Every structure is written in structure tokens, then in C-alpha cells.
Amino acid sequence: MKLIFTPNREYIHKVLVVAHEANILEKITLEIQVPFDENTKIWNYNPLGKVPAFIKADGKPLFGGLVICEYLDSFNKTSPLFPNDKTIWDVKRQMITGDGVFDATTLIRVESWREKSDWNKEYMLRERTKIMRALKMLERDAEEWLKEMNKFHIGHVATAGALSYLYLRNPIQDCKLVPDDEKFDWAKNHPNLSSWFNEILERPSIKFRIGKEDITSR
């Protein structure tokens, strides 16, 4: 099996967390591809030109981080991250919310690569609103998560990934779309979420990191 992705030690990669939890990391070959590089080969794996992509043991591709996560979780026979009970719907809602924060953060950042005079500010403000509203919802969820730190599921994984990305790339602070955005700090304004995040950072699968220097396959 092969995972094609862009590693970064400062970011919690959802797929790596799920593979770690399923205890199958050693069965996966890692390949670096950067989608925006001129000579990227990501198109060979994903017609949408996005990472992560994944090649199963039978040679067939998968793409979309959450799809890959669900596939890898099928190997987890002890504590699957996609629960097989009625809680799955809350878990998947949290999963999509966390992943949505990541997507909105990325979209603001990509738009900011243009000259500032060419920014589509209405579009960027809409993505900013998504982040703020999603964090508010996850703050309520985190109040319950803190009471059950022994539980761990894909909603937690997606949220941890999104929050780590907001630390790594903070386009709200960088772009200053509204007054006081330069002071934006998601952790300061979401105490439950911040407390939960600090605790979950100690989980081995969350602490696990791979950097570009660790990968020989390209």
C-alpha cells in the first residue's frame, strides 16, 4: 500500500493518525507529492490533483482524506475510529466540521496568494465565517469530550488536524479581513477546545510525526 501526501511535522495528518491507531504504518510506503509544484506527479494518482491519495494493496486508488481514513480504519480490529453504533452520526458530524475548518483555512490562504488588490474579499469572509461558526460548535462538543478523554474517534482526529493547521497557517491573522483579526487566537477564545487539544496532543498517534527528511520514496 502507498500513501501519497505532503508531510509537515507541525501538522497532524489525519491519515497517519488512523494508520497508527490501526497499527499498519509499517505496511504503507510513503511518497511525497506537492500539488502546486510544477512537476508534481499527483495527477498520476488522483485526477483531482489533490493530496492525500492512496494506493490499496490491489493497486486501486483512493483519494479524499476521510475516505482513506475510513479504509484504513477497516484494519483496526480493537478500537475502530468509526464507531458501529448510533454515535456514528454525531462523530461524522464532528468529523465533517473539523475537516471543514481545514478546508476553509486552506481556501483563504490560497486566495491570499493573489495580489491583495485582486482578493475576492467576499469569498474570503465567507470562509472566515465558516471557521468561526465551526469553532463555536466544536467548543460545545469539546465540553463533552473533556469528560470522556478515554474515547477517541474520527471526529477527534479531524478536529485535531484542523486545529494544528490553524496553528501552522493562520490566514485570519495574516489577512486581517476584519478589525482585530491580527489578534485572532482560536485557543484563547475556545477554552474547552483548547484544553481538549492540549490533552489529546499526548496520545501516541497524535504525537507521531513524519517529516520530508524521513521519507526516501518519491
The pLDDT tens digits for 148-170 are 999 999 999 999 999 999 999 99
Q: Which domains does the chain have, with CATH numbers?
A: 2-80+209-214 (3.40.30.10), 88-204 (1.20.1050.10)
Confidence of residue 9 (pLDDT cuts 50, 70, 90): confident
Is pLDDT of 217 > 60? Answer: no
- Mean per-residue pLDDT for 117-124? 98
Share the mean pLDDT of the chain.
95
The pLDDT tens digits for 41-70 are 999 999 999 999 999 999 999 999 999 999
Is pLDDT of 216 > 70? Answer: no
Dist. CA 202–CA 62, nearest whole Å: 30
The pLDDT tens digits for 18-38 are 999 999 999 999 999 999 899
Is pLDDT of 211 > 80? Answer: no
Question: Is 142:189 a contact under the CB 8 Å cutoff?
Answer: no
Across 159-172, b (16+ Cβ under 10 Å) vs e yields bbbbbbbbeebbbb
Lowest-pLDDT choice from 28-42, 65-79, 83-97:
28-42
